[in-house]
Amino acid sequence: MTTRNMPDLQTLIADIAWPVTILLAWLTGELVYQRLRLPRISGYALVGFVLAPGQTGLLPAERSETMLLMANLAFGLILFECGYRINLRWLRNNPWIAVTSVAEASATFAAVAWLLQWLGQPQSTALLFAALAMATSPATVLRVVNDQHSSGQVTERIIHLSALNCVLAVLTFKMLIGITVFETSGSHLGALYSSVFVLAATVAVALAFGTLIPRIVGLTARSTHDTTLAFAIAVICVVALTHGLKLSPILGALTFGVAARHHRVVSSTSQRGFGPLGDLLAVLLFVFIASTLHWRQLLAGAGIGLAIIAVRQLAKMAGIGVFARVSGISARKGILVGMAMAPMSAFVILVMEQTRHIGIDLVDQLEPLAAAAFALEILGSIVVQRALIWAGESQREQGG
Amino acid sequence: MPLEPFSASAALTMGVELELQLVSLSDFDLVAGSPDMLELLARRPFPGTVVPEITESMIEVATSVHTGFSGLLDQLRSIRDALLWAGDRLNIGVCGGGTHPFQQWPERRIFDKPRFREVSQLYGYLTKQFNIYGQHVHIGCPGADEALFLLHALNRYVPHFIALSASSPFVQAHDTLFNSARLNSVFAFPLSGRAPFLLRWDEFTERYFTKMEHTGVVRSMKDFYWDIRPKPEYGTIELRVCDTPLSVERAAALACYLQCLCKHLLERSEPPPHEDDYLVYNYNRFQACRFGLEGTLVHPKSCDHIPLREDILTTTRHLARHAEQLRCTAALEHISAICHQGSDAHFLRGEYARRGVVEAMVDSALQRFRA
């Protein structure tokens, strides 16, 4: 045997870094879930952060387009499921749900924008970040809901409200990007492209898939009975297409889910969370997101980061709590819904990575953001879990 | 605690209890919605009573005491409208049907109440399997002995009610080939089946209930899951074999069919009930559960084999005179229409065949309940 056939150690480590990290993350997730009764994803995030290039450095330092695409796919699958569990008719039957959504999202936007400007951030940065802070990450919400087997009004409302505020956040964010492009380049066309066109094209792609795919699946429904695989493949196509066209994969996957749900009165059973495929990609997603964070950024932004979290949380709880009773639930459950709206990391970080992908670097401008995102990456899922348990909606806490 | 005395009530009055499904309007699966529904319903007067059931995906409503079809139907409609009002605000759909066609029993949550927790501890998975939905009809009896007479005289007609109300063809996403699969879940309980053949109340309490209580197996009438059981505190007998129908109109019609039958039986023109009638009881009940209106009955006295559908149609003709007096001719017309058009189980199977997915049955059931 010659040394030429021996693998180079550096290459080997680089090759197995991600698989080993995912294995460790999965194991930690299971331990955290069974021993500490905490959400699995908090374990994934912890491992991702510890092994990140900025910390122990097991994971490679260069940003990988492939990993970003994979993370987008994972997020896409979760968003699709989220969209699929949205009933738009509910907003018509109970308009107070829509009012609640607009209230909590705009309260969050106003409060966070005010805080950042008061802290001396430039207006454009403050507004962009305030737009992102509106969103609650449906990924975290849905993974915890599925982990806890929860059902009830808090569950139902956090799914609907997080999907709605993601849409509101993407719309606001893209509009602000459009304005920023106009202000820096003076180009109407560029501004229009990066806002209106991106949004319209994304929705068009998603609606096309949302109309076509259920029809195609309908042809095979009787033979396969379970449409999980068909929809998983379709989501991958939508995400890859929107990612490749530099559109919004988040809005795309979510809209596709909503469209698929509403284009057939009902569709056949898909496994919750896309079964083992969804579980695998979720590990990858939460590890990847935590691995983009650097401890130096966190430390530098810790103070402001915590202030952002506090203000955002208060705005959400107030915006939802005020309309709780009139929208049909007790004030207590309203506050719990507001509390469970905490997670934002997956959403924020993917949008920022995506924005970097189209040439605007936000991460380096805003260290507090990274701090807030990390705190919520670990804590957000625990807060959601607590809210569901206190609301009495968690099946797991009943002991089966 | 000895059995309480049988409090007499006006003969042939009736009351209906319905166990209803709570489903998510987003994905049509059952949802643990009863605490939220009860919270919201408590904000305004409810046109009847509404209480939680053992799992949080069920809710039970009951009417007050009625004498006729139209009054009963009016109240059931108001109850339905109140439920729909609350459900629409919470994204919760309310519907009938004896089983949910694709729910998975491990996902169910037990309502937080001591008796329910106790039952859940005792019966284990049976409790969650018991996530089934029935209609109970109470008929008022002037005395305890009349109650026991009616209870046993009705034995030959029990399959009618099973077949007419059948609305549980699917369990856990698969066609069971039964029309009422729900009753199979009831049979799993040790104290299900029929009441012992005793026709005098003093005999029933002394020779049966006191002894059973002494064994420690039962503490109250609530521990018996019989097809028909006496309810001494209301002064009624309670028929418990019906699946919850998909519409309140059908629920009211079934109650009135029972009312007419009781009026007919109290005339005592038929040969009196006998212990041996029960030789064919389980066989007939199976026929009704499995084949619905297509089943065949064995007459307990003559041992003739009679198609179930034909037996019901013959009975409705015999009851026409009573129906006129009780002002419920419309109810009997509804019963004949079921015989001609098919039961709810038949309708649900049709929806599955037409639309190809199990969720479609829930969607159709929701529309039927709302219509």
Does A260 reside within a domain?
yes
Q: CB contacts < 8 Å between A and B, how many?
A: 88
pLDDT at A196: 82
Give yes or no for B357 touching A (CB within 8 A): yes
Give A222's contacts in chain B (Cβ within 8 Å): 356
How many helices (DSSP H) and strands (DSSP E) are in chain B? Answer: 15, 13
Task: Give the up-direction half-sphere exposure of residue A178: CA atoms within 13 A in the CB hemisphere.
Answer: 17
Residue A178: name the closest of A166, A192, A168 by CA: A192
Better-scored residue on pLDDT, A294 or A171: A171
> Mean pLDDT across chain A, nearest whole number?
84
Q: Quick one: tokens of A3?
A: 């040394």
> Tokens 């348990």 label which residue?
A389
CA dihedral B349, B353, B358, B363 (to 10 degrees): -80
d(CA A156, CA A87): 10
Give me A81's structure tokens: 């499921």
CA neighbours within 13 Å on the CB side: how many for A366? 30
Query: A146, A153, A222, A270: best mutation site toward chain B, by most B Cβ within 10 Å?
Result: A153
Q: Read off the pLDDT band of A53 (50, 70, 90).
A: confident
Q: Identify residue A336 by its one-letter amino acid code.
A: L
Say if CB B312 and CB B164 are below 8 A apart: yes
How would you write chain A as a 3-class SS string?
A: CCHHHCCCHHHHHHHHHHHHHHHHHHHHHHHHHHHCCCCHHHHHHHHHHHCCCCCCCCCCCCCCHHHHHHHHHHHHHHHHHHHHCCCHHHHHHCHHHHHHHHHHHHHHHHHHHHHHHHCCCCHHHHHHHHHHHCCCCHHHHHHHHHHHCCCCHHHHHHHHHHHHHHHHHHHHHHHHHHHHHHHHHCCHHHHHHHHHHHHHHHHHHHHHHHHHHHHHHHHHHHHHCCCHHHHHHHHHHHHHHHHHCCCCHHHHHHHHHHHHHHHCCCCCCCCHHHHHHHHHHHHHHHHHHHHCCCHHHHHHHHHHHHHHHHHHHHHHHHHHHHCCCCCCCCHHHHHHHHHHCCCCHHHHHHHHHHHHHCCCCCHHHCHHHHHHHHHHHHHHHHHHHHHHHHCCCCCHHHCC
pLDDT of residue A134: 92
Nearest to A128 by CA among A368, A340, A337: A368
Q: How far apart are CA A25 and CA A23, in angstroms?
A: 5
Torsional class of B292: left (φ above 0), alpha (ψ -120 to 50), beta (otherwise): left
Q: Which of B32, B40, B358 sits opposite A151 (nearest CB)?
A: B32
Please say whether the beta carbons of B140 and B65 come within 8 A. yes
Is pLDDT of A12 > 90? no
Q: How far is CA B129 from CA A397, B55, B217, in A?
A: 20, 10, 22
Q: Quote the crossing angle between the two packed helices B69-90 and B34-41, to the nearest 10°.
A: 110
Q: What is the dihedral of CA A190, A192, A196, A197, to 10 degrees?
A: -60
* Burial (CB count <10 Å: 0-12, 13-18, 19+), residue A216: exposed
The whole-angstrom distance between residue A174's C-alpha and the CA centroid of its chain comes to: 16
- Residue B30's nearest CA partner among B81, B90, B101 is B101
Q: Which fold has domain B14-370?
A: Creatine Kinase; Chain A, domain 2 (3.30.590)
Q: Which pLDDT does position A139 carry in this prediction?
A: 86
Mean pLDDT across A369-380? 77
Question: A15 Cβ partners below 8 Å, 6+ apart?
Answer: none
Answer whether B330 touches A (CB < 8 Å).
no
B88: nearest CB among A85, A94, A333: A94
Domain assignment of residue A245, yes or no: yes
Distances from the Cα of B23 to the Cαs of A255, B251, B303, in angstroms? 24, 20, 44
Cross-chain CB nearest to A266 (options B35, B107, B360) = B360
- Residue A31 domain-assigned? no
Q: What percent of chain A has pLDDT over 90?
A: 34
Kindly report the backbone phi and psi dihedral angles of residue B236, in degrees, each rounded to the nearest multiple of 5, phi listed first: -135, 165
pLDDT tens, residue by residue, A311-355: 999 999 999 999 999 999 999 999 999 999 999 866 676 676 666
CA–CA min distance B108, chain A (Å)? 8
Higher per-residue confidence, A95 vs A400: A95
In a domain, A24, yes or no: no
How many separate domains does chain A show?
1
How many whole angstroms separate alpha carbon A395 and alpha carbon B369? 28
Residue B246 contacts residue B95 (beta carbons within 8 Å): yes
Q: Are B318 and B327 in contact (CB under 8 A)?
A: no
Indicate the burial class of A268 (C-beta count within 10 angstroms; 0-12, 13-18, 19 or more): buried
Query: In which residue ranges of chain B is pLDDT below 50?
Result: none
Record the tokens describing residue B24, joined without a space: 């998510």
> Does A55 map to a domain?
no
Number of other residues whose CB lies within 10 A of the CB of residue B86: 25
Angle A40-50/A138-148 helices, nearest 10 degrees? 130
- Tell me which chain B residue has its CA closest to the CA of residue A225: B357
A268 contacts B31? CB cut-off 8 A:
no
Rg (CA), chain B: 20
Q: Which of A41, A35, A24, A34 is nearest to A144 (CA)?
A: A41
pLDDT of residue A186: 75
| A218 contacts B28? CB cut-off 8 A | no
Which residue type is seen at A398? Q
Question: What letters, b where the CB count within 10 A reaches 16 and e where it falls short, cover A106-130?
Answer: bbbbebbbebbeeeebeeebbbbbb
Distance in angstroms (rounded) separating the CA atoms of residues A393 and A146: 12
Position A232 pLDDT exceeds 70: yes
Q: Are the Cβ atoms of A86 and B102 closer than 8 angstroms?
A: no
Tell me the three state secondary structure of residue B80: helix
| Residue A361 belongs to a domain | yes
| Distance spanning both ends of chain A, measured CA to CA | 57
User: For position A1, what pLDDT does the model report?
Assistant: 47
- What's the CA gap between B109 and B100, in Å, rounded? 15
- The pLDDT, as a whole number, for residue A400 is 38
Query: Which CATH number fits the domain that encloses residue A309?
Result: 1.20.1530.20
Mean pLDDT of A242-256: 87
pLDDT, tens digit (0-9, with 9 covering 90-100), for B205-227: 998 999 999 988 888 888 899 99
Q: Domain residues for A273?
A: 65-398
Confidence tier at A226 by pLDDT (50, 70, 90)? low
Residue A377 has pLDDT above 80, yes or no: no
Using DSSP, state whether B180 is helix, strand or coil. Answer: strand
How many Å apart are CA A70 and CA A281, to the nearest integer?
8
Return the closest-CA partner of residue B112 out of B56, B57, B60: B56
Kindly indicate the confidence band of residue A363, based on its pLDDT and cuts at 50, 70 and 90: low
- pLDDT band at residue A281 under the 50/70/90 scheme: confident
Q: Do A269 and B102 touch (CB under 8 A)?
A: yes
Residue B39 touches chain A, beta carbons under 8 Å: yes
Residues of A in CB contact (< 8 Å) with B are 84-87, 89-90, 93-94, 96, 149, 151-153, 156, 159-160, 218, 221-222, 261, 265-269, 327-330, 333, 392-393, 395, 398, 400
Q: Per-residue pLDDT tens for A92-144? A: 999 999 999 999 999 999 999 999 899 888 888 889 889 988 999 888 899 89
Contact B88 A266 (CB under 8 A): no
Mean pLDDT check: name the lowest of A175-189, A229-243, B143-157, B252-266: A175-189
**What's the DSSP call for residue B4?**
P
pTM recorded for the entire structure = 0.89
Terminal CA-CA length for chain B: 46
Residue A3 lies in a domain: no
DSSP B272: P
Closest listed residue to residue A145, CA positions, set A259, A153, A72: A153
Residue A302's pLDDT is: 77
CA distance A259 to A84: 8
Which residue in the set B32, B106, B359 is minimally distant from A266, CB to CB? B359
Q: How far apart are the C-alpha atoms of A350 and A362, rounded to whole Å? A: 11
Residue B39's Cα: distance from chain center in Å?
A: 26
- Contact between A334 and A151 (Cβ < 8 Å): no
Of B36, B91, B112, the CB nearest to A87: B91
CB A42 within 8 A of CB A378: yes
